[in-house]
Structure 1
Amino acid sequence: MKKLRLSFLLLVALVLSACGATADQGTSGDSSSDTKTESETITYESENGPVEVPADPQRVVVLSTFAGNVLALDVPVVGVDSWSKMNPRYELEGVEEVTDENLEKIIELDPDLIIGLSTMKNVDKLKEIAPVVTFTYGKLDYLTQHLEIGKLLNKEEEAQNWIDDFKERAAAAGEDIKAKIGEDATVTVIENFDKELYVFGDNWARGTEILYQEMKLNMPEKVKETALEPGYYTLSLEVLPEFVGDYLIVSKAEEKESSFMETETFKNIPAVKNGNTYVVDSKEFYFNDPITLDFQLEFFMDSFLGE
């Protein structure tokens, strides 16, 4: 009888132990399920075909142009290109500056997604580090580009909401500005870079997308003839007055040569003489992402509508 009772107790112990193991496994299963959720992927249809990317990326390296788009969607960035790094409008404290040739540095950053342009180097090697998605600059218009990055980051709805809101705000601002400066007033955007002067069309950042596409402000005919299709046009100081409309936006880097603004040729341009010239920091105007566009829109509203 004692042996039978002992056997029964051992059997109960084994059953309880098994139940405990099952419970532990259930808890462990829940944990692995959570881990799986965190590491889930989606398939993004890139211009080069489908790419499996994180559904919730947490360590993104942006090797050119699109850092502001990623930041605007509240996705963590761990590495950016030099142009983005020097933009004072981006929150990039602690973010490393990298290039498509800094493979070891990128490995150390342990990215879960790499974004860049189709022209960048070492794409195959970068793919060994993390999923890589590239875009051809200018293939998409600037708002569709943001939407695509929203799709890539699994934040399409957020991207679309910003686009809808931005277009509404910019159109309203354009109506107010035209009411003040006149329906026929023209605006020119120029920049000095590497001792050259450039005038811009309607899709080469520097605020041109807002001024011409969203606000529907007018471009001088000379600019339309030379810069609209290619995006920009190089010109000399001597012919600059022929390109400047009623209003002038000068994108200027503080450390770059800007003595042209001290010349009589520049000072005698009607837009300059009439006080219709607005100077911007080129570092803040290089891009056309939501962070930059919101800043540009605010600047134009203050400049054109301010008393």
Structure 2
Amino acid sequence: MSQRLIPLLGTLFLAVTLAACSTDASPASPSASADAASPDAAAPPAHTVSADKAAAKPAQEASPRAYTDLYGEVSIPADPQRVLVTSSRYAEYLASMGEAPDMVLYTSSVEPEYRTQYLQEQGVEIIEYPQYEHNFELLLSLAPDLIVAPGISVDESTYEQMTKIAPTVALDSTVGMEESMPKLAQLFDKQSESDAEMAAYHAKTAEAASQLEQALGDRTVLVLRVEAKQYRYLGDDEQRGGAIKLLYHDLGLNVPPAIAGAEDWFTPFSLEFLPEIDPDYILLEQRVVDGEDGTEFYDQLMKSSLWKGLRAVKEGHVIPVTTQDLVQGEGPIGYANFTDELVKRLTALQ
């Protein structure tokens, strides 16, 4: 789509307005935002737009179209030249469908290793961005002509500020693959590509589930998360998606009976509860959040007699996993990689 000419006076007014409003934006809380960010990250320097990148796609004469997102109807440019997505998972989903966005907001410290290289190979411009914060001046400097964001991470106030920069789609969705990919496919008319990606992914996890069933039988697996100020275990409510759906549903791992039916994504617990859970295997995550450090609680766990007395610990059945791979790495590529590694490591313990 041809870029719109914005009068200089209007641009200056918008910049001043956003600068005044940016300090009022309410960042999402770490517990509500599924491991995407940190409240202590400093804002990066302003990013300038590459003229070559902006001209990479040929403009076409076509009419905008209407799309209904979380907050109402949005006028979508017919051929956007500067698509910005605010979720790295969304960037992977779109790239896997052959619709790589032009730019993605990115916090490198919490991203899986493969993703940076993959997105760069797909021509996606990676924009370093603070976690659990909003930097509207930076977004303005990127000159997007379409912004796509998970609705779960964009409150109404933030959405209003984004719409002053470019047409913004707050997808009525979480960041989860199973829920988001079909909606992104609809937005960009990539339904067949999305269906093919998901079919390949489900075929892979079905094969892996068969291998794990043969290797583990009815033995149980606990996902234990160590954070800066607490311990939490992964629930098994399939509707939560993400790692829950992958581990306990797609791969068919058995949740310990003592925590079966937990409705939360991750549930806080005290170490005194560990002997009651007593799983056969433990996937141990020391959570990575930009600006937080869980080393103290991790060390306490390692020294605890309750931890040392667990069957999985005594038998050497503890597998470290990273936040980057377990949570942030959700995607047709990331979870395929994670599945391969998990099958290899679990079966090797037999």
After TM superposition, the score normalised by the length of structure 1 is: 0.75
Aligned amino acid, residue 198 of structure 2: I
CA RMSD between the two structures: 2.9
Structure 1 residue runs without a partner (length 5+): 1-33
Pair 97,40 (structure 1): closer, same or farther in 2 beyond 3 Å: farther
For residue 299 of structure 1, what is the amino acid of its counterpart? E
Asked if residue 123 in structure 1 is aligned to residue 123 in structure 2, the reply is no
Q: CA deviation at 1:72?
A: 3.4
1:102 aligns with 2:135: yes
Tell me: CA distance 1:165–1:267, structure 2 relative to 1, closer, same or farther (3 Å).
same
Between Structure 1 and Structure 2, whose CA radius of gyration is higher?
Answer: 1
Superimposed CA distance per residue, residues 205-252 of structure 1 (whole angstroms, 9 cap, x where no aligned partner): 673321112122221122224x2x222210112212323422211122
AA of the residue aligned to 2:137: E
Q: Does 1:66 align with 2:102?
A: no
Structure 2 counterpart of 1:221, from 235, 257, 262 = 257
SS at match of 1:190: strand
Work out whether residues 190 and 198 of structure 1, in 8 Å CA contact, stay in contact via their aligned partners in 2: yes
Equivalent residue for 2:114, pick from 63, 71, 89: 89
Partner of 1:300 in structure 2? 342
How many angstroms apart in 1 are the aligned matches of 2:171 and 2:190? 17
Which residue is 1:151 aligned to? Answer: 186
User: One-letter code of the match for 2:213?
Assistant: K
Corresponding residue of 1:7: none
Q: How far apart are 1:163 and its partner, in Å?
A: 0.8
Is 1:211 paired with 2:234? Answer: no
Indicate the SS of the match to 2:113.
coil
What letter matches 2:92 in structure 1?
A: G
Given the alignment, which residue of 120, 125, 146 partners 1:113?
146
SS of the residue aligned with 2:260? helix
The residue that corresponds to 1:14 in the other structure is: none
SS in structure 1 opposite 2:59?
Answer: helix
The answer to which structure, 1 or 2, has the higher relative contact order (CA under 8 A, 6+ apart) is: 2
Aligned length: 269
Partners of 1:57 and 1:76 within 8 A in 2: no
Amino acid at match of 1:68: E
Tell me the alpha carbon deviations over residues 70-114 of structure 1, each in whole angstroms, 9 at most, x when there is no partner.
Answer: 343351342315378644332266511336631121111112322
Unaligned runs of 5+ in 2: 1-57
Q: Who is 2:232 aligned against?
A: 198
CA–CA distance in 1 between the matches of 2:317 and 2:80? Answer: 45
* Contact 1:252–1:282 under 8 Å retained in 2: yes
What corresponds to 2:272 in structure 1? 238
What does residue 185 of structure 1 align with?
A: 219
- After TM superposition, give the deviation of residue 201 of structure 1 in Å: 1.5
Alignment partner of 1:53 out of 61, 76, 88: 76
Q: How does 1:242-261 map onto structure 2 within 5 Å?
A: 242-253=276-287, 256-257=294-295, 258-259=298-299, 260-261=301-302
Q: Match of 1:22?
A: none
Q: Aligned letter for 2:321?
A: V
TM-score (norm 2): 0.67
Q: State whether residues 123 and 132 of structure 1, in contact with CA within 8 Å, keep that contact through their aligned partners in structure 2.
A: yes
Amino acid at match of 1:284: D
